[in-house]
Every structure is written in C-alpha cells, then in structure tokens.
Amino acid sequence: MAYPGLVLANAALGEGVETHLFFTFWGFDMITKSRMTQLKFTPLGNTATHLPQGLGGLPGVTALATHTMKRQIAEVGVPEVPEFLKQIVDSGGHLWACRMSADMMHLDESDLYDSVEGIISAADFVEKTEGAQLLFI
C-alpha cells in the first residue's frame, strides 16, 4: 500500500518537519518510472477492505480493487501516487532509493523518478536520519 507513507510524509512537511523517504523492496515500484503509473492495489493481506481474503487471489479482483481504491482516493481529494510524490518534493521532501533493491532489480538512477536524489545504502539512510523520528511502513 503506497498511501500511508505518502500521507504521513505530506503531513510532516505541512508541519514544517524535515522529511526523507527511503524506498525499498515493495515500495520501489512507486519511484520506478516504468511502473509508477501502473500501480495496483490488492485486497490480499489488507483486512480493511472487509472482503473475504480468498477473493483476493481470483482473476480480476486486483483490477477491481485498484479501480475502487483510485475512485475512493480521488473522492477525498488525494492525488494518485506520481502527483503525490511531486507534491511532497515541491513541499521540500527528499526521496531516496534503496541500493540493495536497485541492485536486485538491475535498476539505476535513469530508471527512477527524476526527483529521487540518489540510490543509497541502508547505512547511508540511517546516518542521514540520525536523531530523527523513523517510521517503517
């Protein structure tokens, strides 16, 4: 699920808090140019959809759930992921990509959203955020 991290980052920026986002593994699609506009939402593992979990694996359910999610997100005035990332960057937020994820997926900076400031290691991120409030989402 892409939104919780983005909503929290946006809220922090709106409160004047310096904000850095580190995208790793399942979060990587959000900043990968070839994938970021085609993100899908699955009800699997998400009990908040109130659907039987067995439905999640059926053909077409992911597409339907994605469609519903997009409509509901738009109804509350929240942009889709690429536009949301732009708003976060425009608000002064910093985007970082995980070195290990990039290596595993054979991606480099040219494959990533232009506003990603760099591909850095987990240790780099920990160093960068020393003393900060860290959230893992």
Partner 1 sequence: MPVTTIASRDIHVDGEGFLTNYDEWDPELAEQLAKQIGVDLTDRHWTAITFLREDYAARAETPGLRRVSHGAGIPTKELFTLFPKKPAKKMAYIAGLPKPQGCV
Residue 89: closest CA among 112, 113, 125:
113
Selected binder of partner 1 within 34, 53, 91, 121 (CB under 8 A):
91
- Residue 34's Cα: distance from chain center in Å? 14
Residues 5 and 137: beta-carbon distance below 8 Å: yes
114 CB burial (10 A radius; 0-12, 13-18, 19+): exposed
Smallest gap from residue 109 Cβ to partner 1 (A): 23
Selected binder of partner 1 within 37, 76, 110, 131 (CB under 8 A):
76
Residue 90 within binding range of partner 1, rule CB under 8 A: yes
Residue 82 within binding range of partner 1, rule CB under 8 A: no
Smallest gap from residue 110 Cβ to partner 1 (A): 25
Smallest gap from residue 48 Cβ to partner 1 (A): 16
Footprint of partner 1 on 19-48 (CB under 8 A):
none
What crossing angle do the helices spanning 81-90 and 3-14 adopt, rounded to 10°?
Answer: 20
Residues 13 and 91: beta-carbon distance below 8 Å: yes
Site residues (vs partner 1, CB under 8 A): 7, 10-11, 14-16, 76-79, 84, 87, 90-92
